[in-house]
Each structure stands twice: as C-alpha cells, then as structure tokens.
C-alpha cells in the first residue's frame, strides 16, 4: 500500500513556515486507520495499544523503543485541522481503492469468533449479517468519546468543536 499520497492531500491544511514542524502526517493517518480497522474508538486507548503492539509499530514504521505520539496530539490534529474537511473520506477512499485493486478487500465485513464453548444453542437460528461502518461513523464515535472524557481526577467538558468548557474536581 502506498500512503505517500497523504502528504499531498493534506499539504493545503498546513503552513510550511509557521510554528513547529508537524508530526509525520502519514503516521497520523495510519494511526487513525488502525483505530478504524480495529474498532478502537478512544484515541488514548489507541496510543496505549500502539505502545505495546509490535505489529502496529511495524505498520507505522516505528522502532520498538521509539516514543509514540501523545493522544492529545492526535485528537487536536483531528479536531482542529481535519474535522471540517472531507480529507478523512478522501484518504480512506484512496486506501480502499488501493486495497480493492490489490485484492485485499472485497467490500464486505466478516466478523467471526473462534472461541470454542459447549452451548445449548440452535445452529439453525444463526444469522449472517453484514455490518458496514463508514469512516465518518468512526470519526463521530471519537467525537462522542471526547465529549465527556476525564483527565486525571478532573471531570472535563468539551463541546462539539473541541473547545474546553470547564473542569471540576470530583469529590473523593
């Protein structure tokens, strides 16, 4: 899979000569792709998974001791830079087209469970259903996870645009 097209796609969203250099943009989108593919709807949890999962690190081009970006960097880029654009959809569509062209996906999702348990179940009543999850639904789930998140003993409130409204200490 070629992810280098991402640099050109997001170039208009960044100023090349203003502020600190940005995180690797391809890596940011690969991280979001991992979250989407594996159903991880919390950016904090996604970063924790990357810290311990060598397969994720390999996919991201990271060494085993390389520091993972902070979850807030991931969420701030998503909310401030990418939320009001169609960039996620464009990138996911391009990746899906590449995967279809290489025969990696067929356009349907198959969920299986390989746990072997003896059960008193009627095999004739089993249903096979296809679930389609759009990238925009994944982004909406991330936004919902942010709306009431807790930060180190504080209960924080965020509005839809990602602006911090208030934080209050919880009573022990």
Half-sphere exposure of 3 (CA within 13 A, CB side): 14
pLDDT of residue 157: 46
Strand order in the sheet with 150-151: 150-151, 154-158, 164-169
pLDDT in tens, 105-129: 776 666 666 676 666 667 677 666 6
As given in the structure block, the two tokens for residue 8 are 């050109």
In terms of average pLDDT, the best of 10-19, 53-62, 148-157 is: 53-62
CB distance 78 to 143 below 8 Å: no
The model's pTM is: 0.58
Residues 6+ apart with CB under 8 A from 165: 156, 157, 158, 159
Round to whole Å and give the CA distance between 93 and 87. Answer: 10
Task: Provide, rounded to the nearest whole percent, the portion of the chain with pLDDT above 90.
Answer: 13
User: Higher confidence at residue 122 or residue 90?
Assistant: 90
């Amino acid at each position: 899979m070629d992810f280098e097209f991402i640099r050109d796609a997001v170039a208009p969203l960044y100023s090349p000569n203003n502020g600190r250099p940005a995180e690797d943009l391809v890596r940011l989108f690969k991280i979001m792709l991992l979250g989407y593919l594996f159903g991880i709807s919390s950016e904090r949890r996604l970063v924790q998974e990357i810290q311990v999962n060598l397969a994720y690190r390999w996919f991201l081009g990271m060494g085993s001791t390389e520091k993972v970006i902070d979850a807030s960097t991931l969420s701030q880029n998503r909310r401030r830079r990418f939320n009001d654009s169609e960039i996620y959809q464009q990138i996911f569509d391009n990746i899906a087209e590449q995967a279809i062209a290489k025969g990696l996906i067929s356009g349907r999702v198959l969920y299986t469970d390989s746990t072997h348990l003896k059960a008193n179940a009627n095999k004739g009543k089993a249903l096979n259903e296809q679930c389609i999850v759009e990238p925009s639904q994944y982004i909406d789930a991330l936004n919902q996870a942010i709306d009431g998140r807790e930060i180190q003993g504080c209960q924080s409130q965020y509005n839809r645009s990602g602006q911090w409204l208030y934080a209050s200490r919880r009573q022990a």
